[in-house]
Structure 1
Amino acid sequence: MYQEDTLNINQIQFNQLLLEAHSQFQLRDMNQAIRLYEEALNCQEAGRGKIKYKLQDIDRMAIILANLGIIYFHNCDYKQATEKLIQAFTMLDRKNDFKCALLIKILGNLAIIKLITTEFQECKDYNDQAIQLILSAQPPLQYQLFKELMYIYYRFQSFEAMGDGNFENLEQKYDGQSLACFYSSMGLNRELCGDMALAFRYHQKALKLWYELKENGFIVITLRRILTIAQNERMDCKDYVQQLQKCMQSPELRGISPEILFKDCEKKLQCAREITTSLQKLEQQLNYQKNQQLLSQPLTVKQQDEFWKLALKLRLKRAIQYCYHQLSQQEVENASLLQQSITQLEHSLKLLDQQQPYENYLQNLPFTKESVNIIKSHLLKFNRICLKIQLQPFLNYLYQLKLEDDQGQQQFQQQQFNSKFQSNQPYNQQIQNSNYQTQQQPQSLSNRQRQLDSINSQYNSQQSQVNNEQQNQLNVQSYHSTNDQQNYMVRGQNPVQYQNNQYQQFNNPLQSNYPQNNQIEQQDFKQQKQQTMYANNYEQHQLKNSGQFGSQIIGVTGNNQSKINTAQQQQQLLQQQQQSQYQSQQQTNLKFSKSQQNPQQIKQGQNMTVSLTKSQKLKNVGLLNAAYRTVMLGDQLTKCNKSSNGRIERFFILANDGTFRWAQNNKHINDPKSVNSYLVSDIRGLLYGKVTDVLRKSYNDKLEPWLCFSLVMKTRSMDFYAQPLQINSWVFAMSEEIKRRNPSAFVITPGKMLWRKIKIILHWYFVDKKKEKGGSKKKNQREIRFAKLLLLYANNLCRLPQIQ
Structure 2
Amino acid sequence: MSDEESSDGEEQINLEQIKYNSLIIEAYNSFQKRDLKQAIEYYNKALLDLEHYQDFDRIALVQANLAVIYFHSCQYKQSEQLLKKSLQTLEKVNQISEHRNALYVKIYANLCVVYIILNRYDEAQQSNEQAINIIINSQDKQKKDLLEELVYLYFRFISFKNMGDGQFDNLESKYQGATLACFYSSMALNRELCNDLVGAVNYHQKALKVWEQVNDQGFIIISLKHLIYLLQNLNESQNNIIQYQNMLNYYLQTDEFKGINPETLFKDFENKINCAKQVNIKKIFIQINIYYVYFKKKKKQITNSVKRLENGLNDQILNISSNSLLKQNNAEVLNDFGENFWKQALRLRLTSSIRYSQQIIQGKKLDQEQKQALQIGLDQMKQTIIMLKQEKHPLVEKQLINMPFTQQAVSNLKASISKLNKMILKFIFLDAFDKLQMNAVNKSRLSAVNRQQKKINNIIENAYKYTMVGDYLLKCNKTSNGRLQKFFKLAQDCTLRWTAREKNINNKSKVQFYHMQEVRGVVYGKVTDVMCKPYNKKLQSWLCFSLILKSRSLDFFCEPDQINKWLIALGSETKKFNPGSYALRPAQVYWRKMKLILYYYFVEPHLQKGKTFYHSFVKVIIAFGRNQYKLPIINNTK
Q: Is TM-score (shorter-chain normalized) higher than 0.5?
A: no
Give TM-score, length-normalised by structure 2: 0.31
- TM-score normalized with structure 1 length: 0.25
Specify the structure having the higher radius of gyration (Cα): 2
